[in-house]
Amino acid sequence: ALCADDAMQHLAEGSPLLAVPAAQFAVKLADAIHGEGSLEAVPARLCLSDAYVAAKYPQLAEDTLTAANWALLARARASNALRSRLRRSFGKLYASQGRYEEALRQLADDIYHCSLEEGPEHLSAVGGYFELANVFSLLKRGDAAGALDDKVVDCWNKYLLPGMGRSVPALSASQAAQGVEMLRAALKRREATGGTHVGAGEAHYVLALLLQHCGDRKPAKGHVRTACQIYESTLGANHPRTVEVQEARTRIEESCQA
C-alpha cells in the first residue's frame, strides 16, 4: 500500500517515470502476498496502469488493465469501490488514446459505482468528476467541463471547510497531491474564461484551504488574498461568502506569522 501511495503521489506531482517503478514494486508485492490474479492485487495493478498511461506506455497500460478486469470478472464479491477505480483507469487510458466517447462512458460508470459505495459527493468520487472535466475540455465542451470543475471545487470545499477551526479527516500525501492537482487544473480552466468571476474566486479559496491543510502556508496566503479581491469586487465586502473568505484569510495570515 505504501509503494502504491508513493506511486500515486508521484503521478499527482507530474513525475510518471518515478511512479512506474514504485507501482511495479507494489504489484510484485501484492502478487507475492495474495497471489497473482487475486482481487487484493487489483488496486496495485490499477495504480500501475495509471502510471503507464501518464508515462505514455498505452499498450502496457491496456495489458495491465486487462489483467485487473479479469480478476474482477472472476469474482462476484468485488466491491463497487474497486469497480469504480477500474472504470476510472479505463477512462484515463481511453482519453489518452483519443477515444473520448468510450472514456466518457467508462467515467460515467466510475461515478455510478462510486456513488453506490460512498455517495456522489464523497472525496473518492471527485477524481471521476475531474477526469470527466478533462475529457470534456479536450472535446472543447467548455460548459460541461466548467460544470464538472464546479463539482470538484464544491466537493473539496465541503471536505475542507471544517478545517477552519474544526477537525478534518486526515489526507494521505497522495490524496493531498491529487487534490492540489485537481484544484489547480480547475482554476486554470476558469482563468482561461475570465479569472475575475466568482467561480475563479471559489477555486482560489478552496485551493488555499487545501494548501493550508497541507502546511503550504505561503501559497495558501496568496490564493486566499486573490479570492478576497475577487469576492469583494463581484459580491461586495459585506456579502456572507466574502466575509467567510476574509475570516479564512485572517486565520491563514496569522498562521504564517506563528
Please tell me the distance from the alpha carbon of residue 93 to that of residue 59, in angstroms, as a whole number: 10
From first to last of its 258 residues, what are the pLDDT tens digits of the chain?
Answer: 678 888 988 998 889 999 999 999 999 999 999 998 899 999 999 999 999 999 999 999 999 999 999 999 887 788 999 999 999 999 999 999 999 999 999 999 999 999 999 999 999 999 999 999 999 999 999 999 999 999 999 999 999 876 455 566 788 888 999 999 999 999 999 988 876 689 999 999 999 999 999 899 999 999 999 999 999 999 999 999 999 999 999 999 988 876
How much is the pTM? 0.91
Please tell me the distance from the alpha carbon of residue 128 to that of residue 92, in angstroms, as a whole number: 10
Q: Helices (DSSP H) in the chain: which residue ranges? A: 2-12, 16-34, 42-54, 58-73, 80-96, 100-117, 123-138, 142-160, 173-192, 198-214, 217-234, 240-257
Helix axes 16-34, 2-12, angle to 10 degrees: 160
Please tell me the distance from the alpha carbon of residue 93 to that of residue 50, in angstroms, as a whole number: 8
